[in-house]
Amino acid sequence: MSDDFISRLTGLVGERGIVTSPAEMAPYLEDWRGREHGRARAIVLPRTTEEVAEVVRLCAETGTAVFPQGGNTSLCVAATPGADADGIVLGLKRMNAIRSLDRASSAIVVDGGVVLSAIHEAAATVGRQFPLHLGSEGTAQIGGLISTNAGGTGVLRYGPTRDLVMGLEVVLAGGRVWNGLSTLRKDNTGYDLKNLFIGAEGTLGIITGAALKLAPALRARADAWLSVAGPEEAVTLLGALQDVFDTNLQAFELLSRSEIQSVLDFVPGRHCPFGEAPAWSVMIELGAPDPEAALTARLEETLAEAMEAGTVLDGFIAQNETQSADIWQVRHSVSESNKKRGVGLTHDVSVPVSQVARFIAEADAMVAEHYPSAEPVVVAHMGDGNVHYIVMFDHDWWQDVMDRKALQNNVMRRVHDIAMALGGSYSAEHGIGRKLTAELERLTSPVELDLFHRVKAMLDPDGLMNPGAVLSP
């Protein structure tokens, strides 16, 4: 029966479209952080939407679970099956065509398996940009990015991935194909199906194609590193900058002294333009398509006013590309430095922007009370209200912890509870995957949870699409 199933799969996708040897399957079954190892009967790699549909139909017929996989860069184990899974991984990587590129409509239509950086390159050929940027852009695939509604560094200006999608092509559970590949800016004809699949982490269907919005390419920029007294002043500064720069404000990141110090201590070649790491740092990026936009000059005026008002204590505005790169190198060294610094329990919460300062204060107080040996580290996409709140333990201290899983869970719940009490979210940009299903059950209202289950039952009544992700089985 199993052999027959494999040979039928092979009949659909060809010998080169199927992987069954344990050694070759291993990389598809290990999650991005290398901590979880799943199980599958085969890795199936179709080349066309029709092949995906045929594979899904065969799985429906045989009651086989399907685990869709893009670039396998999920930070919450959404892209690999569980350790007790019994199904197939359906990888999109051989579906990597740019289907069409329409400059006048600022639209690109791509296969679900296209790697993000390939979309950047295609857009650039017509003087446009695709403004989704994140660390794994050389590996992450657009189908997975849409399925997880990925965030990244462009959200303040362009919104999350959801806001960049005009249309989708989806292979539904059961194997029918929904063609919603519209490149329209406006369409009010019936219920919005597209947004159901965006962020559903492959549990409602498989995204095999996408129509995406492009934006004008940026040809002017300015970058600065500012010292502010605290998160409350950072919120004031954000409002003042938006009142002048509107959508030219592309990034507004807030970092605690502990985070900057960690980078300076543990990553060689990183510099701080101030005498010592400021209590709180704000890093900003301005960008505009108009090459004539005098962003740096206008920023100098605006910051002079902010310093006079006491909102900004000190500031460093990059005068050339090297200085810009130096600022952002510090920001991008955060993960590396934190790994060396100790064991950091990271949280991906969001709160309304006005509540960021209060969230940090309450979380710091919680850490001081319950985990006095830990140091709070903050790196926040503050313009989005998205705080990566890290509770940092020394390596030595961590070694002595008896039940690490329990400690981790307790810290996580306490941080999440503080965010939720402020009208926040316990997963701002990473999603649920297999990592946060228990938190979803704990923190979702009964009405909402019931609606989630109804959505799942409506689109995947047999529960064969990425089972175990988002909702507990």
Encoded one letter per residue, x for contact with a second copy by CB under 8 A and - for no contact, window 69-108 reads ---------------------------------xxxxxx-
Q: Contact at 8 Å (CB) between 52 and 46?
A: yes
Q: Minimum distance from CB of 448 to a second copy (Å)?
A: 6
Cβ nearer to a second copy, comparing 374 with 428: 428
Q: Contact at 8 Å (CB) between 108 and 152?
A: no
Residues 233-252 that bind a second copy (CB under 8 A): 235-236, 238-239, 242-247
CB atoms inside a 10 Å sphere around CB 174: 18
Residues 165-184 that bind a second copy (CB under 8 A): 172, 176-180, 182-184
And the tokens for 366? 């919680």
Cβ nearer to a second copy, comparing 176 with 395: 176
Instruction: Say how far apart CA 90 and CA 45 lie, in whole Å.
Output: 6
Q: Minimum distance from CB of 343 to a second copy (Å)?
A: 25
Q: Which of 116, 459, 464, 465 binds a second copy (CB under 8 A)?
A: 459
Using a 10 angstrom Cβ sphere, with 0-12 exposed, 13-18 middle and 19 or more buried, the burial of residue 234 is buried
Q: Which of 61, 290, 305, 394 binds a second copy (CB under 8 A)?
A: 290
Q: Which of 22, 34, 190, 473 binds a second copy (CB under 8 A)?
A: 190
And the tokens for 156? 């303040």
Q: Minimum distance from CB of 144 to a second copy (Å)?
A: 13
Task: Please name the residues in contact with 451: beta carbons below 8 A apart, sequence gap of 6 or more.
Answer: none
Q: Minimum distance from CB of 28 to a second copy (Å)?
A: 24
Q: Which of 424, 460, 464, 468 binds a second copy (CB under 8 A)?
A: 424
- Long-range contact set of residues 324-330: C-beta below 8 Å, sequence gap at least 24: 324/221, 324/223, 326/271, 327/223, 327/224, 327/225, 327/283, 328/223, 328/283, 328/285, 329/269, 329/270, 330/225, 330/260, 330/263, 330/270, 330/271, 330/272, 330/283
Q: How many residues bind a second copy (CB under 8 A)?
A: 95
Scanning 156-164, 251-259, 325-333, 372-380 for contacts with a second copy by CB under 8 A, the matching segment is 156-164
Instruction: Tell me if 384 contacts a second copy by CB under 8 A.
Output: yes
Instruction: Tell me if 254 contacts a second copy by CB under 8 A.
Output: no
Instruction: Say how far apart CA 398 and CA 458 lie, in whole Å.
Output: 45
Instruction: Tell me if 351 contacts a second copy by CB under 8 A.
Output: yes
Instruction: Tell me if 148 contacts a second copy by CB under 8 A.
Output: yes
Give the length of the chain.
473
Instruction: Tell me if 131 contacts a second copy by CB under 8 A.
Output: no
Q: Which of 333, 337, 355, 466 binds a second copy (CB under 8 A)?
A: 355
Scanning 151-159, 222-230, 274-282, 335-343 for contacts with a second copy by CB under 8 A, the matching segment is 151-159
Scanning 46-54, 110-118, 189-197, 273-281 for contacts with a second copy by CB under 8 A, the matching segment is 189-197
Instruction: Say how far apart CA 326 and CA 319 lie, in whole Å.
Output: 11
Instruction: Tell me if 198 contacts a second copy by CB under 8 A.
Output: yes
Cβ nearer to a second copy, comparing 14 with 423: 423
Cβ nearer to a second copy, comparing 23 with 447: 447
- In sign, the C-alpha dihedral spanning 365, 371, 377, 382 is negative
Q: To the nearest 5 percent, what fractions of the chain are helix, strand and coil?
A: 40, 25, 35
Read off the DSSP letter of residue 314: E
Q: Minimum distance from CB of 136 to a second copy (Å)?
A: 16
Read off the DSSP letter of residue 216: E
Instruction: Say how far apart CA 146 and CA 426 lie, in whole Å.
Output: 20
Q: Which of 350, 363, 414, 434 binds a second copy (CB under 8 A)?
A: 350
